[in-house]
Chain A
C-alpha cells in the first residue's frame, strides 16, 4: 500500500510539471497582449502600454517567459497577475476557501439528500416515495444550472428574503446554502439513482434474505449490511464528483457572486492573464489527483477484495 501511494504521488509530480508547460504555452498562443486589456474599453497610451509590457516581460520570447516562470515556481513563487498586480498565490489564497466551502457544502448536500433518498427509495421500492425519487432525480439532472440558480434567487432571496442571494458576507452556512444546493442538484439526481440501483441489486442477494429470515430488524439489514456493500460504486462516483465540485463552478460562482477559483480562472483566461491561469489550473489538477487517490484508498477500505500493491 505504501509503495502504491508513493508511486501515485511520484506520478503526480510529473503530471504537474507537464501541465504547467502545456497551459503556459496554450495561454501564450492566445492572441493579444494582456496589458492592452487593462484600460477597459479604451486604448492605452503607447508609453504606458510599453512600460507595462516591459515590466512583466511580455516582450520576451516564449521560452524565456516560461523559464522565468518555472524558476519562480521552483522557489515557491507563483508569479504576479498582470490584470490585478497581485501575487497569484494570494489571489488563489483568497479564492480557494470560497470554492472549497462551496464544494464541500454541495458535497454534503449530495451525500445527505442523494444517498439518503436513494436508500429510502430502494427500501420502499415501488411506493410513492420511490416514484418521487425516480421522477425527481431526472428533473434535477435535466434542469440547467442557471435556470435553477435564478429561480432560487428570485423565490428564496428576493420574494421570501430567507437567504442572501450574493456574496459571502453573511458567512457559512447562510451564504452558501443556496448556491451549494443549486450546484449539488445534478449530483443529487445521479447519486440518488445510482444508490437506489446498487441498493436494489444488493437487496436481492442471498445474505439479505438470510438476514431477514433469521429475524434481524429491517432497518438494520438495510443500513448496516446492504448499504455498506452497495456503497463502493457510490463512493467512486462521489469522489469524482468532489474533484469536479472543487474545480470551481463558473456559472454558480458568477450568479451568486462567490469569488472562487472558477471565476478566477475564467476571468484570467478572458484577460490572457497567463500566470493566474497556470497557477489555478495546476492547483485544480492536483485536487483531481488527490481526490482520485482518496477514492481508490477508500474503495479498498470498504471492499476487502480490492487490494493495491
Chain B
C-alpha cells in the first residue's frame, strides 16, 4: 500500500500549475505603463447620442463634444462653442452665434445646421429620445409632440438657421436662463455622419470635442479616446482616456483600490471607507441638489404649517450628514442649494434641531394619531437616510413611524396619483444646471416636471418666478428668484434636509482632478 500517496502528488502538481498560471497573468494586470492616459469608471450608457442621454453618459459626452455654453468650477456660465447668445428685449427670441472654423472629428465643419439637425431629432416625439423634454420651451415643440396622433411637422419652427454660424431660437415664454439651458447635453450638435448611418455612428461615435474615439465602442466593456488634435478649445492635459464600464460604484471603488481604475464616482455607502482609506484623494463638489421631505398638501391635516415645522425641527440633520454621508452632505438652511448662482443661505427658520419645540408645535397642531408612513423610492440609496429620519421623528415626536419603499418604476406615478395620503415622503431635486430657476420652476410651478414632488405653487409665486425668467439682466433675475425662495420658506410647503455632494475618488496616478456640475473636468486631469 506504499503507492497510496501517488494521487496526492498529482493534485499538488495540478494546483502548482494553476498557481503558476495565475502568477504569469498577474504581470499583465496591476500597474502597466499607460503613457499619459487615464481610466475612468462609468456605468453602462444607453447611447452616446446626446439627445438620447438619460444622465448616464455625462463624462463621455463632455469628452466627445464641445457644448455651446458650460458652467465652470465656480458655477459661472462660460461660452465654449458659442461666440455670443443674445436675447431680444423680452428674452423670447435668442440669437446664438457660434465660433467659425470648428470641425467634427471626421472633418465636417460644425455649423448652425449641425446644431439644429440634432435639436430637431431630439424634439421629434416619435423618436422617443430621453432629451426630448429639454425643448418644451421652444416654439413648434407642440407640433412635434401631439398628445395623440402623428406630428404635423418634422422640424422645430422655433429653431432657425440664419447663416452657417447663426441660429435664431424663438421661445414660447420669456426665459432669461436660456444661455444656461444651452449647457444641457440635449443642445449638443450631431454631424451628418450620424444621420447617414446611425448604427455605424453608435459603434464609433464622432463628435467635435477635446477627445475623439479611437477604436470601437465595446458595449459593457470600454470606450477608448485620444486627444483630438484639431480641437479649437482648451487643449486637454492628458493624451487619452479609457472609460471602463462598471456595473456598480462599489465594484469600481474596489478596482480603484487595486489600481485598475484611476477615477470613479462613489455612493454614500462608500463615503466613510474612502475618507478613511484615501482622504487626500476624495474630491467632492457641492452639487445643486436638495433632498427634502414632501407632504400630501392636498390632505387637510398636512396643510397645517405647524405640523411641517414640527417635523422639520425634529430632524437632526447634522448627525445624519456626519454619520451617513461622512460630511459629504451639508445640512440645508434653504430650499435652493448654494451651488446655484446667487442662492441665499440661512433663510429657513425651522431647519435647526430642537426636539422640545418640535413636540410643542405638534401638540399645538393637535398631535398625530396612528403610524406616520415615510415613503421613499428604492434603488436610489435612500434606505439608510429614511431609517434615520424615521428614527428621529419617532423618538423626538413620540409617534410611530413606518417606512414604505416604492420601486422607482412607480415612484413618480405614486406621487402624481396622490397615493401618499397617510404620511410624508423623501423628495429630491438635482438641478440640471446650477441656476436657481431650474429648481424653482421645476418644483414650484404647476408646469414643472417636479411639481408632483412638492404639490406647492401659488399664482403669486409663479408671477415672481416668471418675472425672474423675463429679466434680461442676470442680477435682476437673481433678485426675483431670491424673493421667490423667501415666499416658499415663509409658506414652508417642504422641509429642506441637506445638499449632497457629487463625490469622486482618484488614485495617486492622476492629479488635478476637478469635479463640478459637469462631473469630471476631463481636460484638466494630469497623469503623473
Q: Which of B373-418 contact A (CB under 8 A)?
A: 377, 379-380, 407-413, 415
Number of interface residues of B (CB under 8 A): 77
| Given the contacts A32-B407, A45-B449, A161-B259, A263 and B247 also touching, CB distance less than 8 Å | yes
Question: Would you call B460 an interface residue if the criterion is a C-beta within 8 Å of the partner chain's C-beta atoms?
Answer: no
Contacts A43-B450, A256-B251 given; indicate if A164 touches B8 (C-beta within 8 A).
no
Closest Cβ–Cβ distance, residue B390 to chain A (whole Å): 20
Q: Are A43 and B410 in contact (CB under 8 A)?
A: no
Query: Is A170 interfacial (CB-CB < 8 Å)?
Result: yes
Residue in B6, B21, B127 whose beta carbon sits within 8 Å of that of A173 in the complex? B21
Q: Are A52 and B453 in touch, CB under 8 angstroms? A: no
User: In the assembled complex, which residues on chain A have CB atoms less than 8 Å from the CB atom of B221?
Assistant: 167-169, 259
What is the total of A-B residue contacts with beta carbons within 8 Å?
A: 216
Interface contact B128-A52, CB-CB below 8 Å: yes
Instruction: Assess whether A229 is interfacial by the CB under 8 Å rule.
Output: no
Contacting residues, chain A, for B55 (C-beta < 8 A) = 39-40, 42
Q: How far is the CA of A85 from the CA of B246 in the complex (A)?
A: 19
Q: Does A304 contact B (CB under 8 A)?
A: no
A47 interface residue, CB < 8 Å from B?
yes
Scan B233-269; emit 1 where CB is below 8 A from any A CB, else 0: 0000000000011111011101101111100000000
Q: How far is the CA of A27 from the CA of B158 in the complex (A)?
A: 41
Interface string of A248-289 (1 = CB under 8 A from B): 000001111101000100010011100000000000000000
* CB <8 Å contact, A257 and B248: yes
Whether A165 pairs with B54 at a CB distance below 8 angstroms is no
Among A46, A113, A167, A177: residue with most chain B CB under 10 A = A167
Does A117 have its Cβ within 8 Å of any Cβ on chain B?
Answer: yes
Taking the closest CB of chain A, its distance from the CB of B27, in whole angstroms, is 9
B4 touches A153 (CB 8 A): no
Inter-chain contact B25/A173, CB cutoff 8 Å = yes
- Are A119 and B7 neighbours in the complex by a CB distance under 8 Å? yes
Contact A162 B251 (CB under 8 A): no
Docked-complex contact A36 and B410, CB < 8 angstroms: yes
B407 cross-chain contacts in A, Cβ below 8 A: 30-32, 270, 272
User: In whole angstroms, how far apart are the Cα atoms of A165 and B428 in the complex?
Assistant: 34
Which of chain A's residues have a CB closer than 8 A to the CB of B22?
162-163, 173-174, 177
Q: In the bound complex, do residue B220 and residue A259 qualify as a contact, i.e. CB atoms below 8 Å apart?
A: yes
Q: Is the CB of A259 within 8 A of B247?
A: yes
A256 to B127 Cα, complex, angstroms: 36
**A112 engages B14 (CB within 8 Å):** yes
* In the complex, chain B residues whose CB is within 8 Å of the CB of A117: 11
In the assembled complex, the CB of A199 is this many whole angstroms from the nearest CB of chain B, namely 11
Given known A120-B11, A161-B26, A163-B25, contact A51–B258 (CB-CB < 8 A)? no
Is the CB of A235 closer than 8 A to any CB of chain B?
A: no
Check if B126 sits within 8 Å of A55, measured CB to CB: yes
Whether, in the assembled complex, A307 has its beta carbon less than 8 Å from a beta carbon of chain B, the answer is no
Cβ < 8 Å to B, chain A residues 145-174: 150, 153, 157-158, 161-170, 173-174
Q: A163 contacts which of B29, B410, B429 (Cβ < 8 Å)? A: B29
Please tell me which one of the listed residues B23, B126, B136, B260 contacts residue A166 in the complex, with CB atoms under 8 A apart. B260
CB-contacts of B271-316 with A (<8 A): none
B346 part of interface (Cβ distance < 8 Å): no
Give the docked Cα–Cα distance between A270 and B379 (Å).
8
Interface stretch, picked from B44-52, B84-92, B164-172, is: B44-52
B329 to chain A, nearest CB (A): 15
Closest to B412 in A: A43
Mask for A83-127, Cβ within 8 A of B = 1, else 0? 111100010001100000000000000001100110110011000
- A38 is an interface residue with CB less than 8 A from chain B: yes
Fill in one digit per residue for B203-220: 1 if any A CB lies within 8 Å of its CB, else 0: 000000000000000011
Complex interface: chain B residues within 8 A of A54 (CB): 126, 128
Evaluate contact between A47 and B219: CB separation under 8 angstroms: no
Which chain A residues lie closer than 8 Å to B423 at the CB level?
none
B256 to chain A, nearest CB (A): 9
Q: Is A37 an interface residue (CB 8 A)?
A: yes
Q: Is the CB of A218 closer than 8 A to any CB of chain B?
A: yes
Question: Given the interface contacts A153-B254, A166-B252, does A124 sit within 8 Å of B8 by beta carbon?
Answer: yes
Q: Tell me, in angstroms, the Cα distance from A81 to B161 when the chains sit together.
A: 35
Q: Is the CB of A259 within 8 A of B245?
A: yes
Given contacts A42-B430, A123-B7, contact A170 B46 (CB under 8 A): no
Partner of B260, one of A45, A167, A259: A167
Could you say which residues of chain B place their CB within 8 Å of the CB of A253? 247
Q: Which of B7, B23, B56, B429 contacts A162 (CB 8 A)?
A: B23
A282 to chain B, nearest CB (A): 21
CB contact list, B13-57 vs A, under 8 A: 14-15, 18, 21-23, 25-26, 28-31, 44, 46-47, 52, 54-56
Which residue of B is nearest A221, CB measured? B3
Name the contact of B258 in the complex, choosing from A158, A218, A223 (C-beta under 8 A).
Answer: A158
Nearest 10 A/B pairs, CB to CB: A32-B409, A45-B133, A32-B410, A174-B25, A55-B128, A166-B255, A259-B220, A257-B251, A48-B132, A164-B29
Some 18 contacts from A to B, beta carbons below 8 A apart, are: A32-B411, A39-B130, A40-B380, A41-B377, A55-B126, A94-B220, A116-B7, A120-B11, A123-B7, A158-B257, A161-B259, A162-B23, A165-B254, A165-B255, A167-B221, A170-B28, A256-B251, A257-B246
Q: Which residues of B contact A (CB under 8 A)?
A: 1, 3-8, 10-11, 14-15, 18, 21-23, 25-26, 28-31, 44, 46-47, 52, 54-56, 125-128, 130-133, 136, 141, 145, 147, 219-222, 244-248, 250-252, 254-255, 257-261, 377, 379-380, 407-413, 415, 428-430, 449-450, 452-453
**A binding-site residues for B, Cβ under 8 Å:** 30-34, 36-48, 50-52, 54-56, 83-86, 90, 94-95, 112-113, 116-117, 119-120, 123-124, 129, 150, 153, 157-158, 161-170, 173-174, 177, 217-219, 222-223, 253-257, 259, 263, 267, 270-272
Extra contacts besides A54-B128, A94-B220, A255-B254 (9): CB < 8 Å: A33-B409, A47-B141, A124-B5, A158-B254, A158-B257, A161-B30, A162-B22, A167-B255, A254-B247
